[in-house]
Structure formats: C-alpha cells, structure tokens
Structure 1
C-alpha cells in the first residue's frame, strides 16, 4: 500500500513555518508509516482521504479483525501533547488511545476507530451545537500535574507577534484584536485543559459513545478561548444567512449562556481568533477564507 501524504496535508503544512525536522518527516512519511504499522503489529486497510490538515491517518486492523486508526503527525504538531491530553481524558468525550507504548519511538498514535465520514456537521445546526456543547463539558477538566501543555497566554503571544506584521488593510482589525487579547490575558479566570481546535468537524460518531472528539491541539486556559472557534463554525452559512452583526452576536450570547461562559470574554476571544486565522489565510493566499473571517470579526 502507498502511504503518500494527501495533498490537503501537503498544502496545509506548506502554510506553516517549516522546520528541518518537519520537512524530513514529510519526506520520510511513507517509510515512517510502514515502520509504525510493523511496530504495532497492525495491518493497513487504507489511507483516510482527503484526511486532515495536520496529519496522516491510516485505517488499520489488528490480527483478530479489530478496527483502529493510526495517526502520524509531524514533530512540530507536538503529537506528544495530543497523546497526553487524550490519555488524561481517558476516552471521556474523546477518542481513546489504544497503545501508547511505542509513541516515543515514532510519534504515531494508535486510536480507536470512529466514523471519519460522520461528524457533527452532518446534523442540523441546532442539534450539532447542542451535541458540541455537551462534548466540551466533558473535556474541560483540570490538567494533570506537571503537564506539558502551553498556556493560552503563551500561544497567543506567539500569534500576536505574527499579527504585528499583518498587511496594512487589516491594521484596524488587528489592532482591535491585539487590544482585546491584552485585556483578556491580564486576568485569566481559570486554568483548564482545552481542546485548542474544537469545532463540529472534530467530533465524530463512534460505537462506544455517540460522539467523540478527535484532533486536539491542547493547551491550558479559560473555556472562552476554546469555545471561540465553535462560534464561527459553518461560517459560510452564517454569512449567507444575512443576519450580519446581530446574528453573530446572538450566536456568541447563545453559546456563552449554554456553557456558562462570560459573554464579553467569549466575544473578545472570538474576535482575536478570527482575525488571527484570517490574517494567516491571507498570507497563505486563501483570500476568500480570509475575507469571510475578517468580515465575521468586524461584525463582533
């Protein structure tokens, strides 16, 4: 079986700052995948395509026919942190790790098999948001002692530095986002383990539980930061609905109230994360995505 990385993964990695380590990982990916399979004594069935933007996922099975999924991510994606978060959640609201013994050898993670083609995005919007909120409640727990995760303050500090060199046409929104971020990190209200990249597409149907989250980019901080990415989910649909600023604010308020999160803190983090994503999309040449994100941020 060929283990060539899907083009979606290649394009996504090309948008990120590349390290020599990550470049080498991408070049050696077919070889690394074969080694990881042999090490865990599982057989490949097929590569998941189009797959994710940050990893290669191979659907596999044990000798007894038990299905599983093998995930390989570049070192820069810190798969060790993903493993630590999934292990801490222990399958409660999240995909379960099946074997972590060999992780330090190759960075790959063997996971229980979920239905990759059935996410919360397959549900009507109201039902999807209800299930998403229920999943987030399970994930927001105290981090383990001596955890390896960065904080919201640390991650957004790096992002803020990148924003300072944003194109002039985004300057007003960028300045607003940076001001909001400064106010938000000055007095963080809580320190919980966060998914870091939570949205409807990251919650898949399973057999052990109806819905389980995958693909965390974990960090420690306040719930409003984690919820902010969900606010702009199905963004094209939101823009097409023509509800504009009023609709965006209603969505913020509804999600904040559902999870007992401060409305203004959620609004602030939603603006910051939308602007940061929009500027990054602009620099990668994804102008349509950038325009949607920046328009949404302006509404708030």
Structure 2
C-alpha cells in the first residue's frame, strides 16, 4: 500500500484501501460499496487538499468499515482523517462525536457530510485497552463507557436498539445458516425471545457507543483512554455492556472455567455500573448468538462456533 507525501503536499501520494477493508466490503453486495472503494484514493486526495492536510501514512491494516489516514494540519498539529464506508452508521458517527465533544471519546475536529470524512484528534492507534491485563482493562473500559451514556440530543437521527436488533431477527431465524446453527436452534430461539422481552420494556434511552470493546478504546494525550469507532444508537446501557462481556472471548475460552469467568464478568460489570444483572446476561447471550451467526456466514467457522458456545455458557 502506497501512501507518502511531503509535508504540505496534497497530490503526490497514492492511497489504496487497506486489505481488511477490501475484504470486508467485498462481502457486501451491491454497486455502492464497490464504487466507493474505487473512488476512495481520489476522495482522500481531494479532502487533503480541501482541508490543507499532509499525510505521512495510512493506518495499516485499517478497519473493516473505514480507512484512516494519519495527517498533519496546516498549523503542524497531528490528526487522523477517517473515511467511513457508506452505510447507516456513517452520518450518526459524526453526530455522536459532536454530542460527546471529547468526553470519553475521540474529539471530532471537522466533518464533511458529502464524503463522510471525519477529522479526529490523533490518538495512539497502536495502544488500546487490549494491551493491559484483563482486570485492569475491564476497569478502565467501564470508566470510559460510563462517560458516553448521555441523553441524546433533541431531534437526533440515531436508530434505537429495538430497530437495529430487529434487522438481525431474520438472520437468527434462517434455516439455511448451516449445520452448527441448526444444532444451536434452541439457543437461537432463546436469543430471539430475550431480544423481544428486553426491547419491550427498556428502562432507559441513552446514547450508546453500539460496538464498545477494549480494542476500540485507545490511549490519548488529552485523556488516558478515549473511545473510537462508534456505531451509535439509543437504548439501555446493558446493550452496550454486553459486547464488553464478550471481549477477548478466545482468551477466555482457552483458560480454565470459561463459563464461570463469564458469569463473574457479568456480575462485576453490572454491579460496578449499576446495571441489572439479568438484563446484561440476556443481552450478552443475544449478542453472542448474533455475532456467532454473522461470523459463520462470513466463513469464520472457528470464531462463529466459539461465540455460539459462549451464548450457551450464558
């Protein structure tokens, strides 16, 4: 991947999408994703010129849903230029970052709605909470996510947990999800029942990160740890915490007594953040089942089966 410019230069680099992004979007049907990938190098060049940025390099390997370029602003301040892939979470990300205004999350410096480009404060992209021991990482994660749970702004455009999870119902009900999913049918049915019950009596409607996990909390200069990469929506805190329960699931499975470890995680996180234990357990089971099926559909058999096993432990 080529990505080199001289300071102050804007038109001498070639910005190729990271391989992980190409692989992830290659599984997305339809013309928009393919066309966006083809146009992305030119989009990056134009945005660099428009905002007077120089770009030493592209973050590699990059994410599954965006490309990030490390840049320097005209006044010499480092920043990160992010281009989210077209989709339902592209515009809400900017809205959520504006609402948080740097409180617990990376600060949004500029936003270009036509391209979706986000100019963000520079964090230490190679240092996340996953670099810490498990107990310390969970403690720091809980302190960070607590700051994000605020009232959504009036007239917001965020989707709700009920709406987002409703889109996954056909996936969980599909009879063509493969033999492992068919074996797990009672578990998937339980996940569907839990989802229906939990969305029917949600106790609160707060702004959530939506995909909160240790790898999405990076070290910063302004604050020790700041969240990045939200898929924002509104709903109850237990939904956000459920993804954290599943964090480092492969490490947990490789250790002793994984089911007991998961139960302790649920208890510790629920009690420390004043979240109902049973609601957290229910959402963790649902999210493990949903993620497991999605991993199976993406050809990640080992991870998918392990997530379904996690759902069973919960």
Q: What's the TM-score once normalised by structure 1's chain length?
A: 0.96
Which 5+ residue runs of structure 1 have no aligned equivalent? none
**Contact 1:54 / 1:77 at 8 angstroms: preserved in 2?**
no
1:19 and 1:170 mapped to 2: Cα distance?
Answer: 31
Find the residue that maps to 2:113 and give its secondary structure: helix
Which residue of the partner structure matches residue 121 of structure 1? 130
How far apart are 1:20 and its partner, in Å? 2.3
Task: Tell me if 1:267 matches 2:276.
Answer: no
Summarize deviations over 1:31-80 as a string: whole Å, max 9, x none: 11111111111011100011111100000001232100000012115321
1:85 and 1:276 mapped to 2: Cα distance?
Answer: 24
Pick aligned residue for 1:93 from 89, 95, 104: 104
2:131 and 2:258 mapped to 1: Cα distance?
Answer: 24
Which residue of the partner structure matches residue 216 of structure 2? 202
Which residue of the partner structure matches residue 149 of structure 1? 158
**Contact 1:82 / 1:217 at 8 angstroms: preserved in 2?**
yes
Task: Tell me if 1:135 matches 2:144.
Answer: yes
Which residue of the partner structure matches residue 10 of structure 1? 22
Find the residue that maps to 1:72 and give its secondary structure: strand
Which 5+ residue runs of structure 2 have no aligned equivalent? 1-12
RMSD of the alignment, in Å? 1.1
Which residue of the partner structure matches residue 19 of structure 1? 30
How far apart are 1:219 and its partner, in Å? 0.1
How far apart are 1:163 and its partner, in Å? 1.6
- Between stretches 84-93 and 71-80, larger displacement belongs to 71-80
Find the residue that maps to 1:111 and give its secondary structure: strand
Summarize deviations over 1:191-220 as a string: whole Å, max 9, x none: 000000000000000001111000000000
Q: What's the TM-score once normalised by structure 2's chain length?
A: 0.92
**Contact 2:171 / 2:293 at 8 angstroms: preserved in 1?**
no
How far apart are 1:291 and its partner, in Å? 1.5
